[in-house]
Structure 1
Amino acid sequence: MKKNALLSIFLLLCTYLSVAQVTTTTIESIKLAEKRNIRLYVPEDYSAEKIYPLVVVLDADYLFDITVGNAKFYAHKDKMPQCIIVGIDQTDSRYEDCYFNPDSGFPDKKGNKFFEFITMELIPMVDKNYNLANFKAIVGHGVTANFSNYFLFKKAPVFNAYIELSPSFAPLMESKVPKRLSEIQQMVFYYLATANEDNFENQQRIQVFHNQSKGYNNDQLHYYYSNFENADHYSVASFGIPVALDQFFKVYKPISVKEYKEEILAYNGPVIEYLTDKYTTIETLFGFKKQVSLNDMMAIYAASKKKEDLESIHELSKIAKAEYPNTMLGFFWEAEYLEQLGEPKKALRTYEKAFGMSEIDFATKDLALERMEALKADFGW
C-alpha cells in the first residue's frame, strides 16, 4: 500500500509538470518511514524523445534554486545539456539524514536509510517517469557534502559528478575519499570548494584532502578545486555551483577562442580527430548524440586551413553533409578539398552541387559562383 501511495503521489506530480516547470510535493518514503518534501525541475520543453542528465540536490531548501538557475542559464547558452533536477528538503533533518558512525566515519542508523532512500526510491522514481541519461550529479554543502561522498564507495557509484561545497568531513574522510578517487574505475568529475572565510576546521581538513588528491593519479578522475576570496561557508555555494557546472560540462561547450588557440592549433595529429573525439566523449558521457555545432566545425575548418591539413577538410565535408544535409556546407568543403587536391573538373561539379543548396554561414551562392568562375578562367573553360 505504501509503495502504491508513493507512486500515485509521484504520478500526480508528473501530471502537474505539464503546466509547471518546478514543483514541490510531499512523498512517503518506505525506507525512511516518513514523508519528505521533494522539489523537481523539468525543462519546459521536455521531450520523451530525448534523454536528460539528473542532478540530485541535498539541502534543497536553499541549494535547489541556485542549482536550477545556473543549470537553466548554462543550458540556454548551450554550455551544458538540459537537466532534470530533484532536490530533497532537509531543514529539520539534515544531521539525522547524514548521521555517521563516529568510529568508522561511514553512515549509520538513519544515515543508512537516507542513503537507501536516494538510491532505491528517489532516483528510480524519477527514472520511471522521465528519460534519464547515464550522467548523474549530486550537490551538497557542509554535512550533506560529506554525505554525498559515501556514494563513491559503492562498487559502481550511481553518480558521475560531485559538487562538494565546504564539506564538513566525518572522521578520516579527508584521507579516505582521495584514496577512493585514485582507485575508481569509472569516469568521475569531482569539484571541491572552500573560501578564505570558511569555517576554520573545514578549511584545514579540505586542505588536507586537496593536498592528498594532488598526490594521486587516475586518468578516470577529473578533479577541480576552488578557494574563493571574500566568501564564507555559505556564500561558497553561490560561487561554487556555476564554477562546477562550467568545469563538468567543458566538453559539451562550443569551442572557444582560447581552446582554439591553445588546444586545437597545438593538436598533434589531424585536427578532425579533435572534433570527433569531442563528440564521441559527449555521447559516451551523456548517452545521447549531440548535433555537431556550426561553431565547432568552423573552428576545425580554420585550423585545417592554417595547418594545411587537407584531409581534415575532406572529413569535415562528410560531417557537414550528415549534420547539415540541406545546406551548401558539405559540398562546398568537398569542392575546396578537390580543388586543393588538383582535381579542377571534379571541384567544379561539386561547387555546382553546392550552388543548388541553401546558404549557410560563409558558404554563399556568390562565393560558390566566384570559385566556379575562377576555376573556369584558370583552365580556359
Structure 2
Amino acid sequence: MRSFTTLIFCLLISVASIAQSRIIYEEFDSAKLGESRRLKIQLPRDYEANVEKVYPIVIVLDANYLFEPVAGNVDYYGYWEDMPESIVIGIMQGDSRYEDCSYDDTNFVPSDKGADFFEFIGLELIPYIDSNYRTAKFIIAVGHDFTANYINYYLFKDPPLFNGYISLSPDLAPMMDERLPQRIPAIESKIFYYLATGTDDIKDLMEISEALNKSLKPLDSKTFQYHYDNFEGATHYSLVARGIPSALEKIFSVYRPISKQEYSDVIMKMETPISQYLIDKYKTIEDLFGLTNAIRVNDYIATCTAAEKKNQWESLREIATMAKKDYPDTVLGDYYLGRYYEETGEPKKAMRTYQGAFDKEEVDFITVDLMLDRADKIKTEFGY
C-alpha cells in the first residue's frame, strides 16, 4: 500500500510540475542511425526569462514511460533548490530499445544498431543539445533494466560521457559486473553512480543488483560517489518512482541549502573556520556542476548563526562581508557585520552599521526594527 501511495504521489508531482515548465517535441534526423528519432525535451521554468543561466542535462532512455517521472521530479526538486534546474532530454524508444541497446554475443559490447545508437548519443545528440540550448557541463543518464545496462558502456569512454548514472534494476550484459569494478578505479573524473532494486523486483534482476552492489560498494571514494537502494516491497516498476527522487537527492546532496542535519552534524562540530566551509561548499558546486551560483540567503544565515554560537568572530566578519557584496540592498550583511563589531569591542561601529541599514530590504527574522533596536540599546548603554 505504501509503494502504491508513493507511486501515485510521484505521478501527481509529475503532472503538476510539468504543467509549469516547457515541453518541446523534436524530430532528430540521425546520420548514425539512418533514421529520425523523436525527442521529448523539458526546459526549466525560468529558461526564457533568465538568458544568462546554464543548466545541467538529464538524458532519459526509455522516455516513452520514464520521461514523466524523471521530468516531474527534476522540476520539483529544482523548484525547491534541492538540485539545480535542469534540461531533461527524453529519447523515445518503444520497441526499438532492444535493438538500440543490443550488444555482441561474444565480447558483450554494443554492436550493429547498438553501436550506432551509442554514437548517436555521444556524437550527435549531446553536441546538438549543447549547440541549441544553454547547457552546463554536467550530464546524468537514466535507464531501466535493459537501458540501465546500456548507460554503463559510457563509463568506458575516456573521459566518460556522463557525470551521473541512475541505474534502475539493470539487466546486465555478461561480464559487465566484472568490467565495472575494474574500470571505475581508473576513471580520474568525479562520477556519481546510483543503483536501485526492490525486494519484489524480478528475482534474477534483484540478484544481479545485489551482486553488483557488493562489487561497487568498496569502490566508494572521493571520485566515485556510489549509492544503493533496495526498496522494501517495491516491484520492478514501482521501484522507479522511489528510485528517481532518491537518486536526485543523493547526487545533488552538496547542492542543497544547508539543512538542520548539516548544520548540527557538520558545521557545529567543525574546528576549522566556518567561513571557509561556506566558500568550499559553493566552490564544490561550481567544480562539480559547472554552476556559479550566488550563496543563498539561507546558507548565509545558517553559517553566521553557527559562527556566533562558536565565537568565530573572524569567520562572522568574512561571511558578513560576502553577504553585503551579494545582497547589497538587504539588511543581511549589515546585521552580521554589526554583530561582529559588537562582539569585538567596537560598539560605535556596530551602532552606525545598524543605523545605516534603515532603508534596506528586510530578510527573514532580520527586520529594520531589530536593527534600530540594537542601535538604540548600544546608544543607551554607552551614552553615544
Shared fold (TM-score greater than 0.5)? yes
User: Partners in 2 of 1:156 and 1:95 — Cα distance?
Assistant: 26
Map 1:5-16 onto structure 2 (within 5 A): none
8 Å Cα contact 2:192-2:225 kept in structure 1 = yes
Classify the secondary structure of the residue corresponding to 2:353: helix
1:372 maps to which residue? Answer: 375
Tell me how far 1:51 sits from its aligned partner: 0.3
Deviation at 1:123, TM superposition (A): 1.0
In the aligned structure 2, how far is the partner of 1:328 from the partner of 1:335? 10
> Residue 102 of structure 1 contacts residue 170 of structure 1 at CA under 8 Å; is this kept in 2?
no
- The equivalent residue for 1:194 is 197
Contact 1:53-1:286 at 8 Å conserved across structures: yes
Q: Displacement of 1:25 after TM fit? A: 3.2
Structure 1 position 322, deviation (Å): 1.4
Deviation at 1:160?
Answer: 0.5
Match of 2:232 among 229, 234, 247: 229
Deviation at 1:351, TM superposition (A): 2.2
Q: Which residue of structure 2 aligns with residue 321 of structure 1?
A: 324
Which residue type is aligned with residue 26 of structure 1? E
CA distance in 2, matches of 1:20, 1:294: 25
Report which stretch shifted further, 288-297 or 135-144: 288-297
Query: What amino acid is aligned across from residue 363 of structure 2 in structure 1?
Result: I
* Structure 2 gaps, min length 5: 1-19
- How big is the shift at 1:331? 1.9
Instruction: Report if the CA contact (8 A) 2:98-2:146 is conserved.
Output: yes
Decide which moves more: 40-49 or 58-67. Answer: 40-49
Superposed displacement of residue 40, structure 1: 1.2
Aligned partners of 1:29 and 1:117 also within 8 Å: yes
Deviation at 1:310, TM superposition (A): 1.0
Q: Which deviates more from structure 2 when the two are superposed, residues 217-226 or residues 189-198? A: 217-226
2:102–2:110 CA contact under 8 A, matched in 1: yes
Q: Does 1:343 align with 2:328?
A: no
Which residue of the other structure, out of 120, 144, 148, is the alignment partner of 1:141?
144
Show structure 1 runs of 4+ deviating over 6 A: none
Superposed CA deviations along residues 79-129 of structure 1, whole A, max 9, x for unmatched, are 111111111111121111111122322111111110000011111111111
Give the residue type in structure 2 aligned to 1:24: Y
Alignment partners' CA distance in 2, 1:327 and 1:24: 42
SS where residue 354 of structure 1 aligns? coil
Structure 1 unaligned regions, length at least 5: 1-18
**Post-superposition shift, 1:271?**
1.4
TM-score where L is the length of structure 1: 0.91
Distance 2:370 2:244 in 1: 46
Distance 1:139 1:20 in 2: 20
Indicate whether 1:106 and 2:100 are aligned: no
The root-mean-square deviation of aligned C-alpha atoms, in Å, is 1.6
CA–CA separation in structure 2 for the residues paired with 1:315 and 1:370? 24
Q: In the alignment, which residue of structure 2 is the partner of 1:8? A: none
Q: 1:34 aligns to what?
A: 35
Matching of residue 311 in structure 1 with residue 331 in structure 2: no
- Residue 111 of structure 1 aligns with an amino acid whose one-letter code is G
**Matching of residue 361 in structure 1 with residue 361 in structure 2:** no
Please say if residues 192 and 225 of structure 1, whose CA atoms lie closer than 8 Å, have aligned partners that are also in contact: yes
Separation of aligned partners in 2, 1:124 and 1:218: 30
1:14-35: per-residue Cα shift (whole Å, max 9, x none)? xxxxx98213333221001122
Counterpart check, 1:25 vs 2:26: yes
Q: What percentage of residue pairs aligned between the two structures are identical?
A: 44
CA distance in 2, matches of 1:103, 1:268: 56
Report the TM-score, using the length of structure 2 for normalisation: 0.91
Equivalenced residue count is 363
- Report the Cα distance in structure 1 between the residues aligned to 2:54 and 2:43, rounded to whole angstroms: 12
1:269-296 per-position Cα deviation (integer Å, ceiling 9, x unaligned): 1112221111111112222221211111
Output the amino acid matched with 1:152: L
Tell me if structure 2 keeps the 8 A contact 1:254–1:296: yes
Matched residue type, 1:256: S
Q: Does the 8 Å CA contact 1:332/1:351 hold for their aligned counterparts?
A: yes
Q: Match of 2:254, SS?
A: helix
For residue 120 of structure 1, the aligned residue among 116, 120, 123 is: 123
> In structure 2, do the counterparts of structure 1 residues 359 and 21 end up closer, same or farther at CA, with 3 Å as the change threshold?
closer
